[in-house]
Chain A
Amino acid sequence: MSAPVVIRGGRIIDPSANTDTVGDLLLQDGVVRSVGDRLGAIDGAIEIDATGRVVSPGFVDVHCHLREPGREDVETIATGAAAAAAGGFTAVCAMPNTDPVTDNQAAVGFVKRQGEAARQARVYPIGAITIGQKGERLAEFGEMVGAGAVAVSDDGKPVVSAQMMRSALEYARTFNIPVADHCEDPTLAAGGAMNEGFISARLGLKGIPAEAEEIMAIRDILLARLTGGHVHLCHMSTVGSVELIRWGKERGIRVTAEVCPHHLSLTEDAVEGYDTNAKMNPPLRTAKDVEALQQAVKDGTIDVIATDHAPHHYDEKEREFSDAPNGIIGLETALAVNITWLVKRGVVDVRTLIEKMSCAPARLFGLPGGTFAKGALGDVTVFDPTAEWKVDAATFRSKGRNTPYRGHTLTGRVDATVVGGRVVFQRGE
Chain B
Amino acid sequence: MSGLLGKDLLGLEYLTAEQITQVLDTAVPLKEISERAIKKVPTLRGATVVNLFFEASTRTRISFEFAEKRMSADTVNVASAGSSVSKGETLVDTARNLEAMRIDMVVIRHGSSGAARFLAERIESNVINAGDGTHEHPTQGLLDLLTLRDRFGDLRGKRVCICGDVLHSRVARSNIWGLTKLGAEVAVCGPRSLLPNAMEEFNVTIFDRIEQAIEWADALNILRLQLERMQAGHIPSLREYNRVFGVTRERLERAPRDILILHPGPMNRGVEIDSDVADGPHSVILDQVTNGVAVRMAVLYLLAGHNPKLAAAAKGGA
Contacts and interface: CB of A to CB of B under 8 A. Distances in A.
Contacts of B198: 196-198, 200-201
Nearest to A193: B113
Interface string B195-227: 011110110000000000000000000000000
A209 interface: yes
A318 B198 CA distance: 29
Contact of B197 (A209, A273, A318): A209
Given A202-B13, A204-B136, A273-B117, A320 B112 contact: yes
A274 interface: yes
B110 to A, nearest CB: 7
Nearest to B113: A204
Contacts of B173: 202, 204
Contacts, number: 65
Nearest to B168: A204
A215 interface: no
A38 interface: no
B40 to A, nearest CB: 36
B134 interface: yes
Contacts of A200: 196, 198
A376 interface: no
Contacts of A315: 90
A141 interface: no
A202 B92 CA distance: 24
Interface string A190-207: 000000111011111111
B115 interface: yes
Interface in A313-328: 315, 318-323
A363 to B, nearest CB: 40
A196 B135 CA distance: 14
- The B interface is mostly helix, strand or loop, or mixed, namely mixed
A323 B117 CA distance: 15
Interface string B234-265: 00000000000000000000000000000000
Given A319-B90, A319-B92, A204 B199 contact: no
B118 A320 contact: yes
B76 interface: no
B99 to A, nearest CB: 16
Contacts of A323: 112
A198 to B, nearest CB: 4
A204 B133 contact: yes
Contacts of A322: 112-114, 133
Nearest to B200: A198
Contact of A320 (B110, B134, B202): B110
Contacts of B134: 204-206
B13 to A, nearest CB: 7
B170 interface: yes
Interface string B153-185: 000000000000000001001000000000000
B144 interface: no
Given A203-B113, A204-B132, A274-B117, A198 B92 contact: no
Interface in A163-215: 196-198, 200-207, 209
30 contacts: A196-B198, A198-B202, A201-B196, A201-B198, A201-B199, A201-B201, A201-B202, A203-B114, A203-B135, A204-B114, A204-B133, A204-B135, A204-B170, A205-B114, A205-B135, A206-B134, A209-B197, A273-B117, A274-B113, A274-B114, A319-B91, A319-B118, A320-B91, A320-B114, A320-B118, A321-B112, A321-B113, A322-B112, A322-B113, A322-B133
Q: Which 9 A-B pairs have the closest CB atoms?
A: A204-B135, A274-B114, A320-B112, A204-B113, A201-B196, A204-B134, A198-B198, A198-B201, A201-B198
Given A198-B202, A203-B114, A322-B113, 9 more contacts: A201-B199, A201-B202, A204-B113, A205-B135, A315-B90, A320-B114, A321-B112, A321-B113, A322-B133
